Structure 1
Amino acid sequence: MTPELFKYLLCGVYVVIIYWLSWVGMRRTRDIRSFSIGNKDMGPVLIGITFAASVASTATFVINPGFVYVHGLSAFIHYGIAASLGIACALIILSRRFLRVGTQHQALTIPDWIYHRYQHRGFSLFFALINLLSITFVVLILVGCSLLMTGLFPISQKAALVIVLVFVFSYVLMGGTYAHAYTNTLQGIMMLVIAVALFVQGIGYFDGGFFSQLQSVGVNYAKVFNPDSNLYFSFFSVFISGFIVTFALMLQPHILTKVLYIKSEADVNRFIFVAVLVGFCFSLMLAIGFYARLSGLEIEQQDSVVREYLLSEFSHSTFGQYLLTFVFITLLAAGMSTLDGILVALSAMVVKDIVVPLTGDHSRGLQMSRWVLVGVGVIGGVIAWQPPALIGLFAQKGVYGLAAASFVPILLGVMSQRQLPVWLAFSAAVLALVTHLLLNLAMGVTNPAVSASYAILLSMAYSLVCLIFVRSKKLEIIQKNNLTSTP
């Protein structure tokens, strides 16, 4: 069998399996609830792999290694170490309580959870609207997948974009959450194998010693804080912002809602263990940025570093071409595993938290959610048709803004047992979103993680001051009532 025939055959097998899993999912999808979070009959291992695959996505497997290629060790620590710690801490702190509140109120989406926690429909509508910023990540994944397809097949990037759109949207339209979870399990296992294999394959580039090899590129390239970098040059930009913004990113609708798939709190620990372990293995893909730099490749387009490295390493032998096909399909699967999760979350959210509250029509939720999917696909495809120069930073501007706005309302809602003032949570969310956008778009803070982290810290400080003020006022009222009631 020639490598060319093998390529089309393997791709065909992958497509058939994905559609079969989606058909199985469609048979179990009966209403908007099962489309959104399933019927709570999936095991914690399956959900853990689904979660990790959704977090990793095209960013980890395709886009972020380009930052490591350009900025060196500082970028690797930012995305690999600080971000991994943020994910682990967020899961440990949030999962159990979020599941408890979500199960108690039968919540289907993040805005739905906000509504039940704060008992205010206007606040949940605000959350649903700002969650539409997730479409920037849809654009990132579409661009990343189309770049990979041009390395696999002799087609233009725009043709590849259309193929990815049609394929992913069609199988998600069929099965919703079940299609997403089943296909993500398959894709997650493929991603796990490839991430470890590519890490081991290129480790020979460090034969002369890890730091000495990085220093051969440049002294600052091997520094934890790179003074030549406009993104990762200080303790805050490398460690603190990486930890804070990734913790906050766990509050995205396509990520945290995975917790609602879990049947009971007894399964939470196993879910967290699987998710963190698999996620750590996925982060090994960041080393591709080092390998591409140490191999001597000169790559102008940062977003295409992974594609160019793989073509350089594996396209020169027959066996390498076989392997390259499997790797490229797996990297495409990495993007699709997150894209389908975002699509399910966005479509369910638009219907449940925007359309139904505004129209009062509860009868056509499943049908409307599928039409919303089509609309999201069209909008994402239009933006991805002429993408920004650095798609990674473009996506971070929107998604990190959403993370900043979500941080205080969800964290306080999870951690506090009391009924919290809606005005406090709403103003904290608006403050965080506006601060992030101002810092990043108007005040010269280039790294969206840094601007979002400053916004989150400011929002947290504001919220704590407000909470202290509210409680002191309550104490004053109680004391006055006690004094007036004393004879």
Structure 2
Amino acid sequence: MTPEVFKYCVVGAYAALVYWLSWRGMRRTRSVAGFSIGNKDMHPWLIGITLAASISSTATFVINPGFVYADGLSAYLHYGVAGSLGILTAFLVLTRGFLRLGERGAALTIPQWIHYRYQHRGLSLFFAFINLLSITFVVLILVGCSLLVTGLFPVDQKTALVLVLVFVFSYVLMGGTYAHAYTNSLQGIMMLLVTAVLFVQGWKYFDGDFIGALRSVGAEYAAPFNRDSSLYFDFFSVFVSGFVITFALMLQPHILTKVLYLRSEKDIRQFIISTVVVGSVFTLMLMIGFYARLAGVEVESQDAVVREYLLHELGSSPWGEYALVFVFITLLAAGMSTLDGILVALSAMVVNDIVGPLASRRVDGLKLSRWVLVGVGVIGVVLAWNPPPLVGLFAQKGVYGLAAASVVPILFGVLVRRPIPVWVVWGAALIGLAAHLLLNLALGVENPAVSATYAIFAALVFGLGGLLLSPARAVGPADLSTAD
């Protein structure tokens, strides 16, 4: 079998398997609740793998290695070390309380959770609308996947965008959360295998001396704080912002709502272990940035580092062409594993938290959820049609603003065991979002993680001050203590 025939056979088999899993998911999806979070009958290990695959998407597998390629060890520490600690801390701190309150309020989305916790429809509507900033991450994934498709098939990037969109949306339209979970499990296993192989395959470039190899590129490239970098140049930009923003990113709708898939609190331990272990393996993909730099791979665009490295390593030998097919499909799967999760979360929010409260008559939520998916897809392709030079930073501007706005409402909602005045939550959310956008877009803070971290600190100061100034029995629901 020639490499060309093998490529189409493997792609066809992968697509058929994904559609079969989606069909199985469709058979179990009979309501908006089932479409949004499933029927609480999935094993915690399955949910953990699903979540790890959602977290470690095109950003980890395709885009972020480009930052490592450009900025060296400091970028790796930012994403791989500080970020991993932020993920672990977020789930240890938030999972139990978020699940408990979500079950009490029968919440399907984060805005519904916000409404139950604070009993304020305007606040939940605000969060439903700002969660639409997740569309910037949809753009990142679409661009990253289209770059991979152009390396696999003789098509231009715009055609690749449409192909990716049609494939992902078609299988998510079928099965919702079950399609997302089942396909993510398949894709997560593929991602684990490819990550391990690529990590071992490229280790030769260090020649037994990790730091020495990096210093051959430059002293700053091998430094934990790269003074030549405009993004990762000191302890705050590398470690503090990496930890804080990744902690906050776990509050995104397509991530934290995975907690609501769990059957009960008894599943939390297995869920966290599987998420952290699998996610930690995925971060090894960042090493490709080092490998590409040490291999002398030249790229026109930082976002194309992974594609060019794989073509350099695997495209010149017959057996490599076979391996390249499987690797590219797996990297595509990495993007799709997050894209489908975002799509399910966004459609659920639009239907449950925007259309539902504002509609004058009852609507068919399941049918509308699927139409919303189509609308999100069209908007995503329009934004990705002519992408910005660094799509990673473009996505961070929007998603990090959402994260900065979410920290106080969710963190305080879980940890503070008394009613919280709504004005405190409103103020902290607005400060988080506005401060991030102001610092990043107007005041020259180039790294979105740094601007978002400053904004989160400002929101936390406001929130803590508001709690100290408010009476212990402030106006609000009196029975929402997270302690049983």
TM-score class, shorter-chain normalisation, is: over 0.9
Once the two structures are TM-superposed, the CA of residue 140 in structure 1 deviates from its matched residue by 0.3
- Structure 1 runs not aligned, ≥5 long: 475-487
Residue of structure 1 in register with 2:350 after alignment: 350
Residue of structure 2 in register with 1:438 after alignment: 438
SS in 1 for 2:221: helix
Residue type of the alignment partner of 1:245: I
CA distance in 2, matches of 1:117, 1:472: 16
Once the two structures are TM-superposed, the CA of residue 300 in structure 1 deviates from its matched residue by 2.1
SS in 1 for 2:240: helix
SS in 1 for 2:57: helix
SS in 1 for 2:431: helix
Residue of structure 2 in register with 1:375 after alignment: 375
CA distance in 2, matches of 1:224, 1:29: 48
Residue type of the alignment partner of 2:280: F
Question: Pairwise CA RMSD of aligned residues?
Answer: 0.9
- 1:36-63 CA distances to partner (integer Å, 9 max, x unpaired)? 0000000000000000000000000000
Residue type of the alignment partner of 2:240: I
2:320 matched to 1:297? no
Residue of structure 2 in register with 1:146 after alignment: 146
CA distance in 2, matches of 1:26, 1:426: 38
Residues 285 and 149 (structure 1), Cα distance of their counterparts in 2 relative to 1, 3 Å cut:
same
2:19 matched to 1:14? no
Residue of structure 2 in register with 1:454 after alignment: 454
2:186 matched to 1:186? yes
- 1:107-141 CA distances to partner (integer Å, 9 max, x unpaired)? 00000100000001110000000000000000000
Residues 415 and 74 (structure 1), Cα distance of their counterparts in 2 relative to 1, 3 Å cut:
same
Residue of structure 2 in register with 1:465 after alignment: 465
Residue type of the alignment partner of 1:152: L
Q: Within 5 Å, which residues of 2 pair with 1:250-261?
A: 250-261=250-261
Residue type of the alignment partner of 2:227: P
Residue type of the alignment partner of 2:119: Q
Residues 279 and 361 (structure 1), Cα distance of their counterparts in 2 relative to 1, 3 Å cut:
farther
SS in 1 for 2:470: helix
SS in 1 for 2:471: helix
Once the two structures are TM-superposed, the CA of residue 473 in structure 1 deviates from its matched residue by 10
Residue of structure 2 in register with 1:278 after alignment: 278
Residue of structure 1 in register with 2:407 after alignment: 407
CA distance in 1, matches of 2:193, 2:218: 32
Q: Within 5 Å, which residues of 2 pair with 1:55-70?
A: 55-70=55-70
SS in 1 for 2:288: helix
Residue type of the alignment partner of 2:106: Q
- 1:280-333 CA distances to partner (integer Å, 9 max, x unpaired)? 000000000000000011212000000000000001111100000000000000
Residue type of the alignment partner of 2:201: Q
Residue type of the alignment partner of 1:149: V
2:115 matched to 1:115? yes
Q: Within 5 Å, which residues of 2 pair with 1:6-405?
A: 6-405=6-405
SS in 2 for 1:132: helix
- 1:47-103 CA distances to partner (integer Å, 9 max, x unpaired)? 000000000000000000000000000000000000000000001110111011101
Residue type of the alignment partner of 1:29: T
Whether the 8 Å contact between 2:226 and 2:232 is mirrored in structure 1 is yes
Identical aligned pairs, as a percentage? 69
- 1:140-174 CA distances to partner (integer Å, 9 max, x unpaired)? 00000000000000100000000000000010000
In terms of mean alpha carbon deviation, does 201-210 or 383-392 score higher?
A: 201-210
Whether the 8 Å contact between 2:169 and 2:377 is mirrored in structure 1 is yes
Once the two structures are TM-superposed, the CA of residue 361 in structure 1 deviates from its matched residue by 3.7
Rg bigger for which structure?
Answer: 1
Whether the 8 Å contact between 2:419 and 2:473 is mirrored in structure 1 is no
Residue type of the alignment partner of 1:20: W
CA distance in 2, matches of 1:473, 1:125: 25
SS in 2 for 1:471: coil
Once the two structures are TM-superposed, the CA of residue 469 in structure 1 deviates from its matched residue by 1.1
Once the two structures are TM-superposed, the CA of residue 462 in structure 1 deviates from its matched residue by 1.1
CA distance in 1, matches of 2:134, 2:384: 14
CA distance in 1, matches of 2:362, 2:425: 28
Residue type of the alignment partner of 2:96: R
- 1:315-368 CA distances to partner (integer Å, 9 max, x unpaired)? 111110000000000000000000000000000000000001000444400011
Residue type of the alignment partner of 2:316: H
CA distance in 2, matches of 1:431, 1:187: 38
Whether the 8 Å contact between 2:427 and 2:462 is mirrored in structure 1 is no
CA distance in 1, matches of 2:360, 2:326: 48
CA distance in 2, matches of 1:455, 1:317: 50
Once the two structures are TM-superposed, the CA of residue 471 in structure 1 deviates from its matched residue by 3.4
Residue type of the alignment partner of 2:77: I
Once the two structures are TM-superposed, the CA of residue 419 in structure 1 deviates from its matched residue by 1.4
CA distance in 1, matches of 2:208, 2:268: 43
Whether the 8 Å contact between 2:356 and 2:363 is mirrored in structure 1 is no
CA distance in 2, matches of 1:24, 1:402: 33
CA distance in 2, matches of 1:463, 1:78: 27
Residues 17 and 473 (structure 1), Cα distance of their counterparts in 2 relative to 1, 3 Å cut:
closer
Residues 451 and 2 (structure 1), Cα distance of their counterparts in 2 relative to 1, 3 Å cut:
same
Residue type of the alignment partner of 1:243: F
CA distance in 2, matches of 1:409, 1:114: 7
CA distance in 2, matches of 1:307, 1:454: 34
Residue type of the alignment partner of 1:38: G
CA distance in 1, matches of 2:161, 2:251: 28
CA distance in 1, matches of 2:294, 2:227: 20
CA distance in 2, matches of 1:414, 1:26: 33
Whether the 8 Å contact between 2:421 and 2:470 is mirrored in structure 1 is no
Once the two structures are TM-superposed, the CA of residue 472 in structure 1 deviates from its matched residue by 7.9
SS in 2 for 1:228: coil
Residue type of the alignment partner of 2:290: F
Residue type of the alignment partner of 1:448: P
Residue type of the alignment partner of 2:192: L
- 1:3-47 CA distances to partner (integer Å, 9 max, x unpaired)? 110000000000000000000000000010000000000000000
CA distance in 2, matches of 1:159, 1:467: 53
